[in-house]
């Protein structure tokens, strides 16, 4: 059985990939068990060398990879290139972390004794990734798992399997079974992985709804979980902000990957004194973006991933306008792009906090803008969400910046910057946006168990 992979640019089938049966997934799990026995006994230094070799091979195949990313997601090739570079960087970073999995010695109360604390690989890892960053998300899970000495069963999105295939193909230096790839529906891939008690850890990048179900399913076999779930990021532009900086960086950030980014700003809180200038400048820049095929080097924004996402974005805009929001720009299919799923960069003003476009993550090219007057008001309204992945603010005041960082309820906060994703920094959210961290020295911890020994002589 095979599954078709459809281009979001043309809405035409690009090819097909084998779909795993239950037996295939069970074979992958058995392979992971065999791979674990060899890989976990490999020294941290040898694991580091292997991860660097994977990064070398990924570098060699960068042109192929960025083209595959653009073909499957529709994102501009320049964005695809940056994503592949970020994926390589994850392997470089965690190669070095593999050398630094430290334990510790604790003085014991028992005469002649001591406590020894060890860090050991948790075991087989089930890694589930979304389609919007098909390289970076795989690397964020596979690289730390391998660095820790775990084996992996990877299940990428069926909409973007080719990118995962290229990456796994770069891992030939690993022992057989260290990484295993399955593609297919929930019943034949997800269900066997979650049911297998040998799988000791699962990591998901996906929606909050899917994460909630995975947490429930993981409870049956008491698996460790890491969840990078949805976002609904606020952006506060204070009255003392550098307006040009805020506009110049927020527009390409908001419409990067057609807004299909969990950390992108969705809710724009703009101070009364800057509101009209901000809206005018934002609209001008949004309208200047060139939409088109991601493989065209001049393209700045590509399509939505599929027809269902296009219809959902249409519905969100219509609901906001019906509720009283003003459609300042966009709001429909991009002119001249009649195939694929191209939606105009869209700007809504006069948005209120109870509108669906504000209350829920839109995951598309919609900037929803509202006004505020006082600092405390902006922070309070920004925090009025179940989500807590990322949040942003623009200000020239160091004191206000520190107050805002402290007050905002989010796992990550950017002040005058949106640059939160880096291999050396912990990435993740709070509340309904998930648990656990990917990246940084924290990123390997979720793939390790802690063992205590009392040694007496």
Q: Please write the tens of the pLDDT for every residue from 139-164.
A: 999 999 999 999 999 999 999 999 99
Find the DSSP H helices in 116-242.
Answer: 136-148, 161-169, 191-195, 208-219
Q: What is the mean pLDDT of residues 388-400?
A: 98
53 CA to centre of own chain: 24
Q: Give the length of the chain.
A: 457
pLDDT at 181: 98
Q: Which residues contact 200 (CB under 8 A, 6 or more apart)?
A: 122, 123, 124, 125, 223, 224
Read off the pLDDT of each residue in 100-119 and give the average, rounded to a whole number: 94
Predicted local confidence at residue 1, as pLDDT? 81
Q: What does the pLDDT read at residue 397? A: 98
Across residues 91-106, what is the average pLDDT? 97
What is the pLDDT, as a whole number, of residue 99?
A: 97
Tens of pLDDT, residue by residue over 237-274, are 999 999 999 999 999 999 999 999 999 999 999 999 99
Tell how far CA 45 is from the center of its chain. Answer: 28
Query: What CA–CA distance (Å, rounded) separates 58 from 71?
Result: 18
Instruction: For residue 264, give the 3-state DSSP assignment.
Output: coil
% residues pLDDT > 70 (the chain): 100
pLDDT, averaged across the chain: 97
Q: Would you please indicate which residues are annotated as catalytic (active-site) residues?
A: 228, 262
Confirm whether pTM is higher than 0.85.
Answer: yes
Mean pLDDT, residues 87-113: 95
Structure tokens at 90: 């994850």
Q: Is the dihedral of CA 262, 264, 268, 271 positive or negative?
A: positive
As given in the structure block, the two tokens for residue 37 are 């026995």
* H or E stretch at 288: helix 275-288
**H or E stretch at 247:** helix 243-255
- Please write the tens of the pLDDT for every residue from 185-221: 999 999 999 999 999 999 999 999 999 999 999 999 9
pLDDT tens across 412-422, in order? 999 999 999 99
Q: What is the DSSP letter of 256?
A: G
Tell me what pLDDT residue 33 has. 98
Question: Over the Cα atoms of the chain, what is R_g?
Answer: 23
pLDDT digits (tens, 9 = 90+) for 23-54: 999 999 999 999 999 999 999 999 999 999 99
Structure letter (DSSP) for residue 448: E
Say what the pLDDT of residue 321 is. Answer: 98
CB neighbourhood size of 309 (10 A):
18
State the alpha helices, DSSP H only, in 13-110: 22-39, 44-60, 62-73, 77-98
Give residue 93's pLDDT band: very low, low, confident or very high (50, 70, 90). Answer: very high
Query: What is the secondary structure of 159-189 as a DSSP string?
Result: TSHHHHHHHHHTTTTSPTTSEEE----IIII
State the pLDDT at residue 455: 85
């Amino acid at each position: 059985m095979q599954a078709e992979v459809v281009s979001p640019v043309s809405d035409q089938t690009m090819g097909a990939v084998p779909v795993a049966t239950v037996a295939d997934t069970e074979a992958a799990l058995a392979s992971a068990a065999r791979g674990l026995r060899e890989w976990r006994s490999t020294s941290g230094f040898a694991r580091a060398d292997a991860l660097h070799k994977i990064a070398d091979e990924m570098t060699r195949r960068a042109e192929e990879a960025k083209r595959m990313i653009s073909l499957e997601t529709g994102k501009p090739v320049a964005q695809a290139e940056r994503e592949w570079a970020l994926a390589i960087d994850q392997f470089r970073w965690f190669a070095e972390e593999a050398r630094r999995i430290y334990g510790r010695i604790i003085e014991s109360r028992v005469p002649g004794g001591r406590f020894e604390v060890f860090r050991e690989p948790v075991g087989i890892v089930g890694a589930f990734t979304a389609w919007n960053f098909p390289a970076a998300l795989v690397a964020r899970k596979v690289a730390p798992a391998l660095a820790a000495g775990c084996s992996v069963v990877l299940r990428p999105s069926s909409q973007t399997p080719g990118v995962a295939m290229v990456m796994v193909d770069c891992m030939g230096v690993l022992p057989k079974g260290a990484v295993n790839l399955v593609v297919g529906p929930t019943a034949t891939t997800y269900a066997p992985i979650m049911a297998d008690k040998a799988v000791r850890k699962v990591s998901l990048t996906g929606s909050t709804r899917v994460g909630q179900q995975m947490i429930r399913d993981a409870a049956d076999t008491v698996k460790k979980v890491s969840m990078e779930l949805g976002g609904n990021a606020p952006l506060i532009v204070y009255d003392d902000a550098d307006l040009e900086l805020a506009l110049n960086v927020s527009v390409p950030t908001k419409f990067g990957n057609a807004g299909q980014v969990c950390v992108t700003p969705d809710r724009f809180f703009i101070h009364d004194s800057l509101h009209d200038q901000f809206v005018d400048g934002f609209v001008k820049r949004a309208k200047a973006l060139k939409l088109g095929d991601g493989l065209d080097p001049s393209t700045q924004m590509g399509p939505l991933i599929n027809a269902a996402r296009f219809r959902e974005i249409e519905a969100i805009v219509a609901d906001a306008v019906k509720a009283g929001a003003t459609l300042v720009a966009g709001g429909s299919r991009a002119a001249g792009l009649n195939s694929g799923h191209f939606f105009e960069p869209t700007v809504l003003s006069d948005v209120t906090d109870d509108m669906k476009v504000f209350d829920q993550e839109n995951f598309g090219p919609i900037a929803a803008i509202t006004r505020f007057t006082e600092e405390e008001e902006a922070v309070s309204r920004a925090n009025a969400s179940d989500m807590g992945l990322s949040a942003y603010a623009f200000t020239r005041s160091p004191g206000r910046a520190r107050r805002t960082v402290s007050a905002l309820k989010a796992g990550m906060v950017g002040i005058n910057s949106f640059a939160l994703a880096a291999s050396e920094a912990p990435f993740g959210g709070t509340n309904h946006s998930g648990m656990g961290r990917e990246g940084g020295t924290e990123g390997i911890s979720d793939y390790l168990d802690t063992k205590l020994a009392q040694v007496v002589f």
